[in-house]
Structure 1
Amino acid sequence: MGEVRKLQKKLRQIENLEIKISLTPEERFKISRKAELRSRLAELQLQLSGPQQTLGIVGDGKKEKMKRQVEDAPEALPSQTPPASKILKGEKESKAQATPAPAARQRKTGVEAEIGRQQERAEPAKVSDHCRNMSGGIPDSEKEQQLRQEEAEFASLRASWEKAKFRLRLLEGHNDIVTCVVAVDNLVVSGSRDTTVKVWHVPTATEHKNLGGHTGGVTCLSAPPLEYCKRLAWSLSLSDKERFILSGSADCYVKIWALTIGQCVKSIYTFNAVTALCFVPEEDGYIITGSDGGKVQAWSWHTFENCQSINAHQEAVTSIQSQGPLVFSSSAEGGVSVWENQCWDRDPLRLLHHWSSQVTGCGGGPDGRLTLSPRGDRVFLAHGRAWLKILHWRTGTTSRLTNHSSITGVTDCVHQTGGLLIGSCYDLANGESTLNLFSMPQCQYLASLTWPDAPRILCFAAWTTGSGDHRWVTGGRNLIVWEQLSSSGKQRGDVTVKRDSRLDCCSLESEESTEDEEETDGTHTHDLDYEDDTDEGKGVEDAGSSSWLRCVLQ
């Protein structure tokens, strides 16, 4: 196992080296050894592939500890998140009031925002006879019928995805790694380490605009809702159909681009390299940015002035997402913070919770990348391991969702669209890239999508067409549009869905049943006793720990 761990660490470091802007001769030599190291790792894994040493799969003795359902409050989908005026503030208010309180009154309560409607928690699959017969409980027959209905619905959903097909179209134009993507109507906007923001027309797969103006690599993008675009367009005497995009860069600037005219209409200097940002559609609107030094800042969409600066994290902020009036930020050291936007002119963000890496279990890696996707009381975390972490942000409890059957798989990004949770996975041992699909909210494995020579996926965006079909765009070494096909018309090269039966038996795991495996799976590079006669580890480790590399791998 010791040699397996060393090889895994070397391959992880080589993958980080490959995305550097420039390489020294020594670094090129190290990269040239990747095929050799992969071959040796595959040989060792074959030797250790006995049932008693199957890597990354929970043994039969622990299957009964897995959580087959997620016991959690129902949540609104990201695209269906209600405005602040409709978000209830606590159970007491939700029970006492027939209609939600105005947004201004909600802010004065100072109580944590309750996302979504208050409904009963999901019932466990097995209930004791005593509980079943309690007054007011659901009769046994109804519960059994409900369970059968849920199982039938999931089976139908899984069957529909097993027949799904996608056609891929390559968008060519960037000359470096694509670090971020966002979808706006029929347009895809991408940001790259080549310092440009490009706008693509999806139906024709052609470059629509090339927005040059940053002097450093573009690290993050965000698209304000249409109503906020109209306000800005009116103030700039532009068409009310104008759409705007926010871009953050290592050059310390946030730029606001008008897509139709292809121009930068506003630049905000942040004094720090911008590594993450999001738009909060509350009141007049806020831009929230994160820096390579761990600072979180709020900017007014009305005046573009700085409203608040907080030294929120110890390391670089790697991801920021909003959900209603809540803002979630994650950092390279593995911490996650939850903020409430109080919609004040000064200091609008109030810290609700902060969970350190000791709680999230996401710290310790030299590259320190951590991306998040919130959903109600849960936050899904991708942090460069073979699984997704699920943080219940109100209580600090965690569980993990298996996203690869081998510990050499690394999860780079997580995304939600409709009733799907999508996690990207890249196998360090063989270079294979996969998208895994899970049904929400139970987090049940549906299917996987991959194809020969698929590139590593570092960022993801999704939307649906008018007919309800999925369209996705993935970025990394290549920028690719995925278009779901009807049941007919398959062509050579189209991607079909596959199933990994090993993910069926170990999807959702309680944290208690996986603590021992997490300590021994070889993916925590900080606790490896790694010696390299050629000093290969040291040079690459330094490269992997740079803040710029962290934001590139968001």
Structure 2
Amino acid sequence: MGEVRKLQKKLRQIENLEINISQSLTPEERVKISRKAELRTRLAELLLQLSGPQQTPGIVGGGKHEKMKRQVEATSEALPSHSPSATKIPKGEAEPTGRQKKTGSQKETVTRGETGRKEETGGRRETGAGEEQSEPCLAVTDTSPKENQEDAEFTSLKASWEKAKFRLRSLEGHSDIVTCVVAVDNLVISGSRDTTVKVWHVPTATEQRNLGGHTGGVTCLSAPPPEYCRRLAWELSLGDKERFILSGSADCCVRIWALSTGQCVKSIYTFNAVTALCFVPEGDGYIITGSDGGKVQAWSWQTMDNCQSINAHEEAVTSLQSQGPLVFSSSAEGGVSVWEGLCTNRDPLQLLHHWDATVTGCGSQEGRLTLSPRGDRLFVAYGRANLRILNWRTGTVSRLTNHSSIAGVTDCVHQTGGLLIGSCYDLTNGESTLNLFSLPQCRYLASLTWADAPRILCFAAWLTGSGGHRWVTGGRALTVWEQLPSSGKQRGDVTTKRDNRLDASLIESEGDSEDEEDSDDYDDDKEEDYTSQDAPESGSTSWLRCVLQ
């Protein structure tokens, strides 16, 4: 197991090195990256030796090297079944004599009869000569009509997603990694490490505009609501239907773009590399930015003036999300803060809660932490095999299994149309999937993958007029997902599968840090360093974390 963990850590470091903010790699870094296939081959061999009889190996196309379909770790635990039904033992269940009526699917107990006849008496069985043989009592499943209805709805939903079909279309144009995506009507806006923001017309899968102006990699995007767009459009003498997009960059700028013309209409200089941003639709509206130094700042939508600057986190802000007047921020050191927007021009943000990494369990050296709020719950992706679910009011945490082994990496999490979607990338074999869970119960539905699927770093989704799903995924490729009618004859480009090991996937956390493979039982000083020598000490890759709208 020691060597397996070493190889997994090296592969994780190589993957993060490839998507580092550095625009160019040193010769030493290129040598390290070139060893990825070799390390994967060795890891696959070790896992085959450690795997049980249920393990099924797979072969990489072209016969280059073996890879594992699934990794069975000795550390994997059996998770409790996640079902709304509760099994209970009824009070006074066994009566020594007489008739006892049982509810549900249980049979009615019969009074003792003639010799030689087997009869039920509570938890006992009577045999020929009148001797009794002890037998376990039958538990009664106490299910309400509401629970039965929920189970029926879930079963129907699961069956529909097992038949899901999607057509995939690639959007070609960026010359580097796509770090963030948002959707506005029939448009997709993408930001890239190549410093550009591009606008795509989804129905035709064509590039509509190329918004150039940033001098550093684009790290985050946000789309203000239409009513706030109308206010700015009126000020700029533009049409009432004008939509705007906000982009943040490592060049310390936030730019505001008019989508109809592709022009930058306003800009904000923040004095710090912008790593995350969101829009708060309260009062006159506020733009909230996060920096690579951990600072959270609020800017007036009306005047673009700085209203507040807070040293909120020790390391880089990796994600900012708004939910009504609330703002949620996360940082590279694993902390999460909850802010309330006070709709004032001075100090509009007030801290409600802060939970550090000892509570969230999301300590991360790579700064890979993104958020998706839902009521009192905050879904957190932090570059590991599990999603964390934080009750931001109480600080209680549960874990949602997003991969069947610790070799999985979760880069982003998103909610759409009653679904929770988590991306998953397998360090062992380079496979990428999207895992679907039902909301609000977080019950596993299905996994979607496709041939040569790249690592997914960002995600956007919306529903079409007919109720179908339309998604966009970004990373090394920018791809549009168009849901096809399940009854149609057209074949989809996506493979739908189920991993039964994710069925019982929601468990309560015991406050552990769950360091998993980073809690290595070996001395790092004796191992080759796969981290970038040019990267800053804190939050070096956090600029990649996208704000998922």
TM over 0.5: yes
Amino acid at match of 2:28: E
* Matches for 1:419-458 after TM superposition, within 5 Å: 419-458=418-457
Distance 1:539 1:425 in 2: 22
SS at the partner of 1:426? strand
Asked if the contact 1:68/1:508 (under 8 Å) is kept, the reply is no
**How far does residue 146 in structure 1 lie from its aligned partner after superposition?**
2.0
Cross-structure match for 1:165 = 165
Distance 2:499 2:47 in 1: 18
Closer, same or farther: CA 58–51 of 1 in aligned 2, 3 Å = farther
Closer, same or farther: CA 226–539 of 1 in aligned 2, 3 Å = closer
* Matches for 1:31-42 after TM superposition, within 5 Å: 31-42=33-44
Closer, same or farther: CA 490–410 of 1 in aligned 2, 3 Å = farther
Closer, same or farther: CA 446–488 of 1 in aligned 2, 3 Å = same
Closer, same or farther: CA 407–280 of 1 in aligned 2, 3 Å = same
2:278 aligned with 1:260: no
Deviations 1:402-459 (A, max 9, x none): 0000111000000001200000000001000000000000000000000121000000
Cross-structure match for 2:32 = 30
Aligned residues: 481
Cross-structure match for 2:191 = 191
| Fraction of identical pairs, as percent | 75
Cross-structure match for 2:128 = none
Cross-structure match for 1:5 = 5
SS at the partner of 2:153? helix
2:510 aligned with 1:508: no
- What is the aligned counterpart of 2:73 among 24, 30, 55? 55
**How far does residue 532 in structure 1 lie from its aligned partner after superposition?**
4.3
Distance 1:163 1:125 in 2: 30
Deviations 1:120-154 (A, max 9, x none): xxxx7357868xxxxxxxx9999532221111110
Cross-structure match for 1:337 = 337
Closer, same or farther: CA 415–435 of 1 in aligned 2, 3 Å = same
SS at the partner of 1:9? helix
Structure with max Cα Rg: 2
**How far does residue 538 in structure 1 lie from its aligned partner after superposition?**
5.7
Deviant stretches of 4+, over 6 Å: 139-142
Cross-structure match for 1:494 = 493
Amino acid at match of 1:125: A
* Matches for 1:68-79 after TM superposition, within 5 Å: 68=83
2:543 aligned with 1:551: yes
* Matches for 1:380-459 after TM superposition, within 5 Å: 380-459=379-458
Cross-structure match for 2:231 = 231
* Matches for 1:307-386 after TM superposition, within 5 Å: 307-363=307-363, 365-386=364-385
Distance 1:3 1:544 in 2: 28
**How far does residue 57 in structure 1 lie from its aligned partner after superposition?**
7.4
Distance 1:418 1:152 in 2: 18
Deviations 1:242-291 (A, max 9, x none): 00000000111100000001100000111111000000111111100000
SS at the partner of 2:37? helix
- TM-score between the two structures when normalised by the length of structure 1: 0.83
Cross-structure match for 1:96 = none
Distance 2:526 2:469 in 1: 47
Report which stretch shifted further, 157-166 or 482-491. 482-491
Distance 1:492 1:146 in 2: 37
Cross-structure match for 1:530 = 524
Distance 2:540 2:197 in 1: 18
Distance 1:288 1:435 in 2: 29
Deviations 1:319-351 (A, max 9, x none): 000001100000000000000101011001010
Asked if the contact 1:330/1:371 (under 8 Å) is kept, the reply is yes
Closer, same or farther: CA 142–460 of 1 in aligned 2, 3 Å = same
**How far does residue 49 in structure 1 lie from its aligned partner after superposition?**
1.5
SS at the partner of 2:485? coil
Cross-structure match for 1:78 = none
Distance 1:359 1:541 in 2: 31
Distance 2:331 2:184 in 1: 27
Distance 1:491 1:428 in 2: 33
- What is the aligned counterpart of 1:125 among 86, 95, 103? 86
Asked if the contact 1:56/1:407 (under 8 Å) is kept, the reply is no
Cross-structure match for 1:273 = 273
SS at the partner of 1:551? helix
Distance 2:83 2:360 in 1: 21
2:477 aligned with 1:478: yes
Amino acid at match of 1:251: D
**How far does residue 27 in structure 1 lie from its aligned partner after superposition?**
1.1
Deviations 1:52-78 (A, max 9, x none): 994287544xx44x6546xxxxxxxxx
Closer, same or farther: CA 168–230 of 1 in aligned 2, 3 Å = same
Cross-structure match for 1:116 = none
Asked if the contact 1:318/1:371 (under 8 Å) is kept, the reply is yes
Amino acid at match of 1:465: T
Distance 2:9 2:534 in 1: 14
**How far does residue 542 in structure 1 lie from its aligned partner after superposition?**
6.5
Distance 2:530 2:42 in 1: 21
Distance 2:433 2:296 in 1: 32
Amino acid at match of 1:456: R
Asked if the contact 1:180/1:475 (under 8 Å) is kept, the reply is yes
Asked if the contact 1:402/1:503 (under 8 Å) is kept, the reply is yes
- TM-score between the two structures when normalised by the length of structure 2: 0.83
SS at the partner of 1:537? coil
